[in-house]
Amino acid sequence: MPDILIRPATEQDAELLVQFIQDLARYERLSSECKVTSELIHEHLFGARPAAEAVIAEYNGQPEGFALFFTTFSTFVAKPSLYLEDLFVNPDMRGKGIGKALLLHLVDIAVERGYGRVEWAVLDWNQPAIDFYKNLGAKMMDDWTTCRLTEDVLQRLATQEVVA
């Protein structure tokens, strides 16, 4: 049996995380939007006010994937939730249980911390991922649409006055 180890990412993994994130951006056809640097990873994952956490999946001692997550809050269940921002496994290592091990590790974290949910988004064209999540029992929230304000819009809106 292969040895799959899931471990917390450390500052020494910053460059590895950058590589995984760039690989994920390529897979998701979003390379032009990927602005990740090791400096930003250091600041926002390992700095004074970490905004997220990451875990690394090792397969037979080699890093082959990661998951990056953070805490949100559900007003309806009145508990924190774990939001999975990214889960990525190297393409040639898919189908070996690494993705499932990553997701189950996050489930364990959520249960240990007393969270009410684990949530994430999946691209509608990524059928292998959709099938994987459904097979685990995930409920697809088809009636919700993700909304996003990008950094340039944030800057523009921050200078506007509220008009009633």
Catalogue the active-site residues. 133
In 3D space, the residue among 78, 77, 54 whose CA is nearest the CA of residue 67 turns out to be: 54
Helices (H), the chain: 14-27, 38-46, 98-113, 127-136, 151-158
12: phi then psi, degrees, rounded to nearest 5: -70, -15
Instruction: Summarize the chain as % helix, strand, coil (round to 5).
Output: 40, 25, 35
